[in-house]
Amino acid sequence: MSKVGQQEVRITVLPEKREMLVPVGENLLVALRRNGLDIPSPCNGAGTCGQCRVRFEQGAPTPTDGDRRFLDSQEIGRGWRLSCLHRVEGPAKIYVVPQTGRLDTKVRIDRLLELKEFSPGVSVHPLCLTAPGRNDQRADTQRLVEALGGGAAIPLPILRRLPTALRASGFVLSVVKVEDEIVDLLPSDRANDIYGVAIDIGTTTLAGYLFDLGNGRQVAVYADRNPQLKIGSDVISRIQYGQEKGKEGFAKLQSLVLHGVNALIEKMAGEAGIGTSSIYKMTVVGNPTMLHLLLNVDPTAIANSPYVPVLRDGFALKASELGLDMAPLARVEILPAISGYVGADIVAGMLYANLGERETIELLLDIGTNGEIVLAVEGRMFACATAAGPAFEGASISQGMSALDGAIYQVTVEDDEISCSVIGGKEARGICGSGLLDAVAELRAIGLIDESGRLRRTEHPLASRIEGEGTKARFLLSDGVYLTQKDIREFQLAKGAIRAGIEVILERAEISVDDIDRILIGGAFGSSLRPESLLRVGLLPQINVEKIVSLGNSAGQGAKLALGDRKVTPRLQQLIEETEYIELSFIKSFSSKFIKCMQFPTDD
Amino acid sequence: MSKVGQQEVRITVLPEKREMLVPVGENLLVALRRNGLDIPSPCNGAGTCGQCRVRFEQGAPTPTDGDRRFLDSQEIGRGWRLSCLHRVEGPAKIYVVPQTGRLDTKVRIDRLLELKEFSPGVSVHPLCLTAPGRNDQRADTQRLVEALGGGAAIPLPILRRLPTALRASGFVLSVVKVEDEIVDLLPSDRANDIYGVAIDIGTTTLAGYLFDLGNGRQVAVYADRNPQLKIGSDVISRIQYGQEKGKEGFAKLQSLVLHGVNALIEKMAGEAGIGTSSIYKMTVVGNPTMLHLLLNVDPTAIANSPYVPVLRDGFALKASELGLDMAPLARVEILPAISGYVGADIVAGMLYANLGERETIELLLDIGTNGEIVLAVEGRMFACATAAGPAFEGASISQGMSALDGAIYQVTVEDDEISCSVIGGKEARGICGSGLLDAVAELRAIGLIDESGRLRRTEHPLASRIEGEGTKARFLLSDGVYLTQKDIREFQLAKGAIRAGIEVILERAEISVDDIDRILIGGAFGSSLRPESLLRVGLLPQINVEKIVSLGNSAGQGAKLALGDRKVTPRLQQLIEETEYIELSFIKSFSSKFIKCMQFPTDD
């Protein structure tokens, strides 16, 4: 690719230790991408998003002002630079953040919303009004609305504050509007204080993203456990709790999640150094049960055939109606769902992945407690949900745990040696979902797990790590951490259900595996799974690994898009109306497919 | 008017004992109207409004089914008939209800809303939904909205009730909508329970009208004192109270009026035998201060120059926002005002009088604690307000009282005898506004009050009733009830202010008194004043008494129109935008006119 006679230098990319020859003077981002590295850059090299950061271990160039806008002095000292701002000067060793990996639960990054158009529907209007006088007896509301150019609705709480706000400020103030409604009156020096949050309410994890809606910058990110976990680990157990306790049960579940969301908001606001009353918009995604519980709407019908939710379409309300820790009149938008088990989290992922907008045939998969599957075939879309069960999230696994310090998150077998990567780098305490998948995939690859899922003692040196017999058999992964025969069975149930769902949806769409152009893995958890392992255990059909793309937390990304662009709302509605939902429990062939798919593939 | 050879009979109209010759066979309503009697008939003789009722003292015709629809058997026994349903058969004595008279404070009548179109914006939709099943997994909201034909907004409280309401009723229920919003879910057998109230919040009196919004019938009327009277008798004293006590002061004033309005609603609902939760719409009129206090919006700016209200345009909110005793999601519409002293009560009166929709030049006058004046000249409209003071409502008069039992409400001098009519027919306890006006007018007519307002002992036999001298002078009206010299001065202040306002407004419009085609007297109180007396004291300019028309409680009537027809809202907005407001305190010539107008006319 380099021109004749042009000097080339060697760049080593870590952690893979990959080496490449790059012409001196080439833009670093361009060079890395040309060599197949997937480096995020929503601004496409303009130096305005700060996402193409890499760390020089050797040969760091002089930092630029652009670097300093996105990186603090410590980071610059450690060698971090924005790759788009530098040209290749000489040989270097560069660390590039791998694009798949576990979710950081505490990250603070400064990032622009990745939007085609930034139009959150929240606006600030600094006003300098004339005071009433003999020749101007206009009413306060009239004075205000005319200065805003008309068309502003005034709710009662603002009407009550208006006369004092006008007179205390000498008729100079700023008005915050959400869509056409006035939601706040600010002193004129606080005109820039408008923020918004995107919230992803997972059954296990709550994730929040705080944005400055003045400039579209992400100013804080935070994730924490869903406090409803103490009631039950999955949606069904929470619905059962609500049913048993009556109205108070659901009120309790609502109060728990509200508490969790408010804690998230306060944490992020504290980190960004803003007041929560400056947050004027929230978009919320999650599975249907989570969103029903957030609204304290009885989700019982979701748990029983025919699994009907109360609410499917998008729903907007005011923060004060729920008691959220934001501006009382802030707009809260619950994004729409497709069915009782294909929720706003999936629809947000479809939005983020631009599903249905390309000619290609794409399969979107979100793996968590449930596995949701969406297939897009030339504009037509099909969706289904499988009860994968909590195996992937560690709940039904003997030493299962969340992706926290001490969890084995990656397992590799090389040269007859097993190595386990542990979060935090310390001693292993248990195993999380991605570790479970890897462990099963690696043991299957070396034949210590047979086609039916049984642990078997072969000639392989690692067979010595198998202890016990039959259903009591177990494999020693690391000091004190075992993969048991029962764990493998749980895993088979989960992966079998998802794969059977894929089979049903392909059949409905009359598509074969070979027709699939891309498999998109969405969900914060799903994205942490290694594509090779997913193929090896047969959770995914046999497809070229290059066709598998991890989207990261696609639900959260979709929620961010809806936060930053109000024009997304009609697109979401269109997505749910265009998608055909397939209820797997009504499909006769599903059970036989499920049983078949619990088996492991026989050849790799 | 009768044809040659047609037989004519004599009809005596009571209480005036007026006689007229009417051709046999002529419709009675037509005959009475042709002879100049002002008989209400919004349905224009169609037999559907029940308002043209007259009472036969002699010659009653056989009652028809139409009579029985609007009159009960007792009324029919006493001779009441609907005049539009009968032809003249022979000589008769007929009592026709005078169209001016005091406001009945407790009346229960069954009356259809006098509307061109009945379209309250509240509707009931009985639904028989299909239950969810394998082939119909639609969400509850989707199921409901599609059955309604789309376009229905669902607020959170309804969303919460929805799953239980659907399943408890077997998916057969009725939905109540206000505009496009679902406000209630009813068992299907309560489908007809939709009601609305029109409320007129006067400084002194609260009046309420309860309507069945299914058929447009008025089912109850009630009036009571404004509980804020214990804080102060006029708007200024209430604003001062609020200012002195701070936020709690205005909160207290709000709580008092809410208490009063809720008591009114409960009384009417009890009388009609309905639950208050079946009331889904309210329209409210009143002067701007009263409506600010209802909303707990600080009205202080209204009290100080340049007398600016916070709110001028119409304002809609939910009953639950104020704690009104109605369906929680009921729509409450505060009608718009023109300025800080020309309020929704006046705008409602303009609507009721169709002001500005005719070619004629008309003056609308609402006399109460304040006197509001609107002039319509070929589509242009002018408005002003005068601080008439509380004289007309009895507050600053030595023996003044409201129009309750024991109040002298009419005074006549005939053949050198004075006669006082007392409400309830018992002994006089004091004097109300209409009695005060009559007393002054009659004493002025016989010369016992001179041009300057001084009581003087003339040769007239009634001069013997004058006691005392100078400022202590007083005239004995009835046993124990006097009209004092100070009362006359208070009256002069009030009538002088209103007359001066009329002069200013005519000057601004470049109109002379002779150009006026009609003077419309609006307001429950103003309508009880005798036109002859208004002319005699010079409150009105000298004009043919025939041109003076009493509208009754025009504010309440206008509120009813807005209750029954949502299309009225844009007309109200048009009225306030087309009216030029004149602030009298900014008009230099006003004080000199005021002083001049306090004098009484010299020739009758």
pLDDT tens digits for B365-404?
A: 998 778 999 999 988 999 999 977 667 766 688 998 877 7
Point out the residue among B298, B317, B339 whose CB comes nearest to the CB of A164: B298
Tell me which of B9 and B423 has the higher pLDDT: B9
Q: What pLDDT is attached to residue A586?
A: 93
pLDDT per position as a tens digit, B573-587: 999 999 999 999 999
Distance, CA of B519 to CA of B176 (rounded, Å): 42
Q: What pLDDT is attached to residue B419?
A: 93
Distance from CA of B587 to the nearest CA of A (A): 10
Q: What pLDDT is attached to residue B300?
A: 96
Please answer whether residues A309 and A583 qualify as being in contact, where contact means their C-beta atoms are separated by less than 8 angstroms. no
Distance from CA of B384 to the nearest CA of A (A): 13
Q: What pLDDT is attached to residue A1?
A: 41
Mean pLDDT of chain B: 89
Point out the residue among B160, B306, B586 whose CB comes nearest to the CB of A297: B160
Residues of B in contact with A315 (CB under 8 A): 154, 159
Q: Is B21 on the interface with A (CB under 8 A)?
A: no
Distance, CA of B116 to CA of B347 (rounded, Å): 18
Distance, CA of B524 to CA of B209 (rounded, Å): 14
Q: Do A159 and B295 touch (CB under 8 A)?
A: yes
Please answer whether residues A561 and A333 qualify as being in contact, where contact means their C-beta atoms are separated by less than 8 angstroms. no
Residues of A in contact with B307 (CB under 8 A): 137
Distance, CA of A371 to CA of A534 (rounded, Å): 13
- From A516-520, B173-177, B356-360, B411-415, the region with the lowest mean pLDDT: B356-360
Q: What pLDDT is attached to residue B38?
A: 66
Residues of A in contact with B164 (CB under 8 A): 298
Distance from CA of B332 to the nearest CA of A (A): 12
Q: What pLDDT is attached to residue A101?
A: 29
Q: What is the DSSP letter of B462?
A: G
> Chain A to chain B, count of Cβ pairs less than 8 Å apart?
120
Distance from CA of B510 to the nearest CA of A (A): 21
Distance from CA of A382 to the nearest CA of B (A): 15
Its pTM stands at 0.81
What residues 526-545 of chain A have any CB closer than 8 A to a CB of chain B?
none
Point out the residue among B132, B164, B321 whose CB comes nearest to the CB of A306: B132
Q: Do A159 and B310 touch (CB under 8 A)?
A: yes
Q: What pLDDT is attached to residue B234?
A: 84
Give the count of beta carbons closer than 10 Å to the beta carbon of residue A497: 25
Point out the residue among A133, A141, A296 whose CB comes nearest to the CB of B306: A133
A587 to chain B: closest CA residue: B134
* Residue of B137, B148, B302 best to disrupt the A interface, most CBs of A under 10 A: B137
Q: Do A306 and B136 touch (CB under 8 A)?
A: yes
Residues of A in contact with B298 (CB under 8 A): 160, 163-164
Residues of A in contact with B157 (CB under 8 A): none
What residues does B178 pair with on adjacent strands?
A: B122, B181
Point out the residue among B133, B140, B310 whose CB comes nearest to the CB of A310: B140
Q: Is A4 on the interface with B (CB under 8 A)?
A: no
- From A522-526, A533-537, B326-330, the region with the lowest mean pLDDT: A522-526
Give me the count of residues in chain A.
604
CA distances to A170, A194, A207, B145 from A188, in Å: 11, 13, 33, 43
Residue B110 has pLDDT above 60, yes or no: no
ipTM score:
0.81
Q: Do B132 and A301 touch (CB under 8 A)?
A: yes
Query: Hey, CA dihedral for B141, B147, B150, B156, is it positive or negative?
Result: negative
Distance from CA of A543 to the nearest CA of B (A): 33
Distance, CA of B112 to CA of B47 (rounded, Å): 11
Mean pLDDT of chain A: 89
Average of per-residue pLDDT across B172-199:
93
pLDDT per position as a tens digit, B208-265: 999 999 888 888 888 888 999 899 888 999 999 999 998 899 999 999 999 999 999 9
Q: Do B298 and A163 touch (CB under 8 A)?
A: yes
Q: What pLDDT is attached to residue A583?
A: 95
Residues of B in contact with A340 (CB under 8 A): 137, 139
Q: What pLDDT is attached to residue A102?
A: 27
Please answer whether residues B191 and B177 qualify as being in contact, where contact means their C-beta atoms are separated by less than 8 angstroms. no
- What pairing do the DSSP bridges indicate for beta strands A548-552 and A518-522? parallel
Residues of B in contact with A583 (CB under 8 A): 134, 137
Q: Do B312 and A136 touch (CB under 8 A)?
A: no
Residues of B in contact with A155 (CB under 8 A): 317
Q: What pLDDT is attached to residue A123?
A: 94
Distance from CA of A137 to the nearest CA of B (A): 6
Judge residue B313's burial from the number of C-beta atoms within 10 Å of its C-beta, 0-12 exposed, 13-18 middle, 19 or more buried.
middle
What's the pLDDT band for B113 if we cut at 50, 70, 90?
very low
Q: What is the largest CA-CA distance in chain B?
A: 101
Mapped onto helix, strand or coil, the DSSP state of residue A1 is coil
CA distances to B40, B332, B562 from A184, in Å: 50, 23, 31
Q: Is A583 on the interface with B (CB under 8 A)?
A: yes
Residue A200 has pLDDT above 70, yes or no: yes
Point out the residue among B298, B305, B308 whose CB comes nearest to the CB of A139: B308
Residues of A in contact with B316 (CB under 8 A): none
Q: What pLDDT is attached to residue A16?
A: 67
The pLDDT > 70 percentage for chain A reads 93
- What pairing do the DSSP bridges indicate for beta strands A53-58 and A92-95? antiparallel
Average of per-residue pLDDT across B484-488:
96
Distance, CA of B113 to CA of B215 (rounded, Å): 9
Give the count of beta carbons closer than 10 Å to the beta carbon of residue B361: 18
Distance, CA of B346 to CA of B384 (rounded, Å): 11
In one-letter notation, the amino acid at residue B302 is I
Element (H, E) at A316: strand A315-318
The pair phi, psi for residue B555, each rounded to 5°, is: -65, -50
Residue A11 has pLDDT above 60, yes or no: yes
Per DSSP (E only), the strands in B378-434 are: 380-386, 407-414, 417-422, 430-431
Judge residue A392's burial from the number of C-beta atoms within 10 Å of its C-beta, 0-12 exposed, 13-18 middle, 19 or more buried.
buried
Q: Do B581 and A137 touch (CB under 8 A)?
A: yes
- From A368-372, A531-535, B529-533, the region with the lowest mean pLDDT: A368-372
Q: Is A339 on the interface with B (CB under 8 A)?
A: yes
- From A336-345, A396-405, B105-114, the region with the lowest mean pLDDT: B105-114
Q: Do B306 and A132 touch (CB under 8 A)?
A: yes
Distance, CA of B598 to CA of B256 (rounded, Å): 36
Both ends of chain B: CA-CA distance in Å?
34
- The crossing angle, in degrees rounded to 10, of helices B554-564 and B568-578 is 130
Give the best-scoring range by mean pLDDT among A218-222, B136-140, B400-404.
B136-140
Q: Do A298 and B163 touch (CB under 8 A)?
A: yes
What residues 451-480 of chain B have any CB closer than 8 A to a CB of chain A?
none
Closest Cα to residue B319, out of B290, B279, B287, B291? B279
Residue B156 has pLDDT above 90, yes or no: yes
Residues of B in contact with A296 (CB under 8 A): 160
What residues 123-162 of chain A have any CB closer than 8 A to a CB of chain B?
132-134, 136-142, 154-156, 159-160, 162
Q: What is the DSSP string of B85-118?
A: G-B--S-EEEE---SS-PPPSS----EE---SS-
Q: Do A139 and B295 touch (CB under 8 A)?
A: no
Q: Is B339 on the interface with A (CB under 8 A)?
A: yes
A166 to chain B: closest CA residue: B310
Distance, CA of B244 to CA of B240 (rounded, Å): 6
Average of per-residue pLDDT across A205-210:
92
Distance from CA of A79 to the nearest CA of B (A): 52
Q: Do B340 and A295 touch (CB under 8 A)?
A: no
Q: Is B236 on the interface with A (CB under 8 A)?
A: no
Q: Do A142 and B312 touch (CB under 8 A)?
A: yes
